């Protein structure tokens, strides 16, 4: 199922391949988010043209949209999406956090330095040891490990994920420990409930507490999962969320079996990719390429910038002069004309920017694979990170 082709001599980076019923995934790889069984603004042919290898869909949202009858008659994600490549589904566990603690505490998964909390909202989740109750339209909807497995099997993804409870960066040690016990029990129940031939990943949690992350990696690593998904509750106790992420990976990865793939959940900025790959991560998923494109932010080798800014109103350069994505190669738009499309609220703006961004991240992963193969990792890292300002939007 997973084969390591080469390991870096200077880090934990590794070149590999994951075999699925719908094709091979060359790793390290980016997983493009298709929450509602579609990658917004992209057609199936766009996905191929942007070098997409793997898509992840959201179990919770599809479950709520389809209902029991819709799921029973669902033809499968591949047919619905018109996509013949590999697909992954999450477990619905992230919504335990996003609709629960995240709302109640006014926080995100990544708590940045000096970040002001969001306005707290009503917690829509009630967590029990058996499962989770979500408040939907005045009624509670119940989801547990067994139901998550049934839903993911009916969706028909190649890779599915065990049900878990992600914690908040504001949760204390006692609650994180309690939650970890639940996640581990749910992992065992997920394995017992699974009846399909789909690949299944177990989830490592433990917040920002090194002993809990080690405990989780060792526990989940002993179970017969086909791979591992690493969750996080990245905070600022080390001075920055990047340092926290590194610490959490170092508390998890060394205690996992080396012969199975590792997926980093919900993380995928440029600097994150280099950090993760160096630590031994094989696949990543994140909404950044698609969500930011729809709002006018594009990623290039020169950095990330917001095309809606006035500084680009007379800029006739391609989005990225060094890019060979379909948009940049076609000459159909330059920065000035794409900015105008966003200003006019033309839907083509989001489509063109999405094609570019998805290609950029997938192409970056292809460059990373080549660098591991050729032992040119340090040069590639310097090339991408020298001008790519992760702190904010570049001005040109």
Nearest in space to 213 (alpha carbons), one of 227, 192, 234, 237? 234
Q: Rounded to the nearest 5°, which phi and psi values hold at 77?
A: -60, -40
Instruction: Compute the distance between CA of residue 242 and CA of residue 42 in angstroms, rounded to an integer.
Output: 31
* Active-site residue, 285 included: yes
Nearest Cα residue to 86 out of 260, 268, 285, 246: 285
Q: Among the options 158, 272, 282, 285, which is catalytic?
A: 285
Angstrom distance (rounded) from CA 138 to CA 119: 22
CB atoms within 10 A of CB 68: 11
- Euclidean distance between CA atoms 199 and 61, whole angstroms: 21
- Cβ atoms of residues 387 and 303 within 8 Å: yes
Residues 82 and 52 sit within 8 Å (Cβ to Cβ):
no
Please identify which of the residues 90, 144, 282, 320 carries the catalytic annotation.
90
Determine whether 396 is exposed, middle or buried from the number of CB atoms within 10 Å of its CB (0-12, 13-18, 19+): exposed
Write the CB contacts of 45 (distance below 8 Å, at least 6 apart in sequence). Answer: none
Query: Is 226 in the active site?
Result: no
Other Cβ atoms closer than 10 A to 72: 9
Work out the end-to-end distance of the chain between its first and last CA atoms, rounded to an integer number of angstroms: 44
As a whole number of angstroms, the distance between CA 299 and CA 33 comes to: 17
Burial class (CB in 10 A: 0-12, 13-18, 19+), 331: exposed
Q: Which pair of structure tokens corresponds to residue 172? A: 């204390």
Give the Cβ contact number of residue 139 at 10 Å: 8
Active site residues: 90, 285
């Amino acid at each position: 199922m997973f084969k390591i082709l080469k390991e870096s001599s200077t880090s934990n980076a590794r070149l590999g391949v994951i075999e699925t019923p719908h094709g091979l995934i060359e790793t390290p790889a980016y997983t493009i988010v298709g929450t509602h069984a579609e990658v917004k603004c992209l057609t199936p042919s766009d996905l191929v043209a942007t070098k997409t290898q793997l898509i992840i869909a959201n179990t919770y949202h599809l479950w709520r949209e389809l209902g029991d009858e819709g799921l029973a008659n669902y033809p499968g994600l591949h047919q619905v999406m018109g996509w013949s490549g590999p697909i992954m589904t999450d477990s619905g566990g992230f919504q335990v956090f996003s609709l629960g603690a995240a709302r109640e505490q006014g926080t995100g998964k990544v708590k940045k330095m000096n970040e002001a909390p969001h306005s707290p909202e009503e917690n829509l989740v009630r967590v029990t040891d058996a499962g989770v109750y979500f408040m939907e339209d005045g009624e509670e909807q119940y989801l547990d490990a067994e139901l998550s497995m049934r839903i993911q099997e009916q969706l028909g993804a190649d890779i599915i994920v065990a049900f878990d409870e992600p914690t908040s960066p504001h949760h204390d040690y006692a609650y994180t420990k309690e939650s970890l016990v639940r996640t581990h029990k749910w992992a065992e129940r997920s394995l017992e409930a699974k009846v399909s031939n789909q690949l299944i990943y177990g989830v490592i949690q433990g917040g920002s507490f090194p002993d809990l992350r080690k405990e989780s990696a060792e526990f989940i690593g002993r179970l017969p999962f086909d791979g591992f998904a690493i969750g996080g509750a990245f905070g600022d106790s080390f001075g920055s969320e990047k340092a926290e992420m590194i610490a959490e990976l170092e508390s998890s990865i060394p205690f996992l079996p080396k012969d199975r793939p590792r997926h980093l959940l919900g993380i995928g900025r440029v600097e994150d990719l280099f950090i993760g790959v160096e630590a031994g991560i094989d696949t990543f998923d994140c909404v950044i390429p698609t969500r930011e494109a729809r709002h006018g932010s594009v990623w290039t080798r020169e950095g990330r910038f917001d095309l809606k800014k006035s500084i680009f109103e007379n800029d006739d350069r391609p989005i990225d002069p060094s890019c060979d994505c379909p948009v940049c190669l076609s000459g159909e738009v330059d920065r000035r004309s794409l900015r105008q499309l966003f200003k006019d609220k033309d839907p083509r703006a989001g489509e063109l920017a999405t094609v570019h961004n998805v290609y950029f991240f997938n192409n970056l992963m292809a460059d990373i694979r080549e660098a591991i193969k050729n032992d040119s990792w340090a040069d590639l890292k310097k090339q991408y990170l020298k001008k790519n300002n992760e702190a904010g939007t570049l001005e040109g």
